[in-house]
Amino acid sequence: MNNKLALFGGPKTLSHELSLYRSMGTEEVDAAKKVIESGVLSKFLGCWHDDFYGGEKVLEFEKAWREYFKVEYAVSVNSATSGLIAAVGAIGVELGDEVIVSPWTMCASATSILIWNGVPVFADIEPDTFNLDPRSVEKNITPRTKAIVVPDIMGHAAGLEAIMDIARKHGLKVIEDAAQAPGAVYKDKYVGTVADIGVFSLNYHKHIHTGEGGVCVTNDPELAERLQLIRNHAEAVVEGKGVSNLGNMIGFNFRMGEIEAAIGIEQLKKLKSLAEVKIEQARRLSEGLSGLDGLKTAVVQEDCSHVYYVYPLVLDTSAIGVDRGRIADALVAEGVEVGRGYQNIHLLPMFQKKVAYGLNGFPWSSEVYRGDVSYLKGICPVAEKMHDEHFMALPICMYDYSDDDIELIIEAFRKVWRNLAVL
């Protein structure tokens, strides 16, 4: 065996191109074909009418989602971003309100708050699961706090029981951003079904997908109605439907098409088996990477399951004497795609400059908003240090890894660790 690192001219451990992850099969092709042949690609009408709720496949898909996740209501949307916007609007966030959110997530978790003129407040994360730290959440509550947006990041549930307790104590609503955790379990409930509203993603690189798409779930009939209204031109519907609460009844076109819904019906049938493949791959990675000095593998907390949208790793750079960038460079040279860090949303230009609507700092500069939220580096030290120094990830949901691929990835890590002295 040639032990020379590829970074220094040795042979690559993983020399072939990985196959992209594909969850689609003939079932989805046939389902889409039937919709196309029917000629009914969408059946939504943006007015109070029998077709306000969409076509046959949309309704069938929502029913299947309700039954699978054991919830009272499922509202399909054209993306999880749309779902988050609808959810924040549905709970009544408005100008002057603050909403606590994680910095360690996709930016829509925070920008959905700004859409309704709310102000995002970033709480720090836990170092093991990278989810919101309930202690930091409570520390950031003010008289202006209206809600909490909780991502279940990377496929593992947040500390939902503690966060829900905090929310009930302070009279706050909670939205779960379960985009990365479809099918994960938290204390015998599906992730995404614990909060007031849960939002799932059906974007192309998730466990199951419809190309673009999403689903909101809730057990509250009023919230379900408001989600449906915001999804489909609320302002044109409320009068005919007899809706009296006009707050945030600004409608969008967040509607899912019949083709996407037909694909979603077939994809949902596969969720359990597709997630099990990722769970097994992660188990083998954890086993194969155990014992490497200074490398912490994925954590799964008690009474939880992890569906591994990505496989997270934490480097103790002081223990191994090599910085993360050098380690990542060596792994990439060996053919292993590895992510470095994870964006800290509060450090994006929008938040650093407090510029969103126009150029005058709205909504932060509004006379209605009485707070003075800070986005300076240092407000989320755990998230920032993870991003800057310690966090790495393998993109489990991007590729169809074979058994040999997993073994070669493990060998690439072990090869790099055997050569730490020369790095």
pLDDT band with cut points at 50, 70 and 90 for residue 203? very high
DSSP letters spanning 196-222: SEEEEE--TTSSS--SS-EEEEES-HH
Reported as a single tens digit per residue, the pLDDT across 253-291 is: 999 999 999 999 999 999 999 999 999 999 999 999 999
User: Rounded to whole angstroms, what are the CA distances from 386 to 121, 162, 298, 419?
Assistant: 19, 23, 14, 24
Neighbours of 276 (CB within 10 A): 12
At 56, give phi and psi (nearest 5°): -60, -45
CA atoms within 13 A on the CB side of 44: 24
User: What is the per-residue pLDDT across 379-411, written as a single tens digit (0 to 9) for each?
Assistant: 999 999 999 999 999 999 999 999 999 999 999
- Over range 55-80, report the average pLDDT: 98
State the distance between the two ends of the chain, measured CA to CA, in whole angstroms. 19
Residue 185 banded pLDDT, cuts 50, 70, 90: very high
State the DSSP code for 365: T
Which pLDDT value is given to residue 1? 64
- Which residue, among 186, 196, 12, 7, has the nearest Cα to 86 in the 3D structure? 196
pLDDT for the residue numbered 26: 98
For strands 197-201 and 214-218, give the pairing.
antiparallel
Helix or strand holding residue 112 (H, E): helix 108-115
The two tokens of residue 301 are 């907390």
**pLDDT level of residue 343 (50, 70, 90 thresholds):** confident
* Close Cβ partners of 37 (under 8 Å, ≥ 6 residues apart): none
Cβ-proximal residues to 5 (8 Å cutoff; 6+ apart), any chain = 330, 333, 334, 415, 416, 419, 422, 423
In whole angstroms, give the CA distance from residue 377 to residue 267: 41
Would you state the structure tokens that stand for residue 408, as one six-digit string?
A: 């070669």
Which tokens go with 214?
């999403």
- Exposure string over 97-116, b if 16+ CB within 10 A, otherwise e: bbbbbbbbbbebbbbbbbbb
pLDDT band at 183 (very low <50, low <70, confident <90, very high): very high
Cα 252 to the chain's mean position, in Å? 22
Q: Where are the alpha helices (DSSP H) in 290-402?
A: 317-320, 324-333, 349-353, 381-385
* 251 has pLDDT over 90: no
Q: How far is CA 40 from the centre of its chain?
A: 31
Contact between 342 and 382 (Cβ < 8 Å): no
What are the C-alpha distances in Å from 375 to residues 334, 372, 384, 419?
A: 38, 10, 12, 40
Encode pLDDT of 109-138 as tens digits: 999 999 999 999 999 999 999 999 999 999
Beta strands in 249-317 (DSSP E): 295-296, 311-315
**67 Cβ contact partners less than 8 Å away, ≥ 6 residues apart:** none
Confidence of residue 2 (pLDDT cuts 50, 70, 90): confident
The alpha-helical segments, DSSP class H, found in 153-242 are 160-170, 221-231, 238-241
Q: Is the pLDDT of residue 351 over 90?
A: yes
Average pLDDT over residues 213-219: 98
Structure tokens, 190: 């599906």
Average pLDDT over the chain reads: 97
Which pairing describes strands 173-177 and 145-151: parallel, antiparallel, or unpaired? Answer: parallel
Asked if residues 369 and 363 have their Cβ atoms less than 8 Å apart, the reply is yes
Which domains does the chain carry?
Answer: 6-21+271-341+384-422 (3.90.1150.10), 26-267 (3.40.640.10)
